[in-house]
Amino acid sequence: MKRDPERDGHGWERTVREDRRQIPRLLKKNPSLRHKLDEVIAETYEGARSRVIDKSEEMWEQKKLKQPLVEEDLPQSCPWDIHELLKQGLYFTREQLEEQMEPPSCRM
């Protein structure tokens, strides 16, 4: 039975855990990719950042958030290095993210 990740609170953790296992293997098989890691992280972060903003707008429309996020609420570039991103067991909970970021500016 296939699970719906939006309804399964742990689905994203399994996805992250599996991807973290695959990345070192991929880099071992393709060492030339190592010099492109910063570029890949930047591109991936930019896409993820956009999806988070879009999702927050959707949740705001559904009355699940008091206000949606805007671009200024999130760091422009990925605040984590490759070692932090690949660390097993680290899932960047809301509390961890809030420690890394300045609080969002007040918007009206």
> What pLDDT sits at residue 11?
75
> What pLDDT sits at residue 95?
63
Burial-class residue 57 by CB neighbours within 10 Å (0-12, 13-18, 19+): middle
> What pLDDT sits at residue 9?
56
> What pLDDT sits at residue 106?
47
> What pLDDT sits at residue 45?
94
In which residue are the tokens 């070692």 written? 83
CB 54 within 8 A of CB 69: no
Measured CA to CA in angstroms, residue 89 lies from 16, 22, 59, 93 at distances of 9, 15, 27, 11
Residue numbers of the chain with a pLDDT score lower than 70:
1-10, 92-108
> What pLDDT sits at residue 93?
64
> What pLDDT sits at residue 38?
92
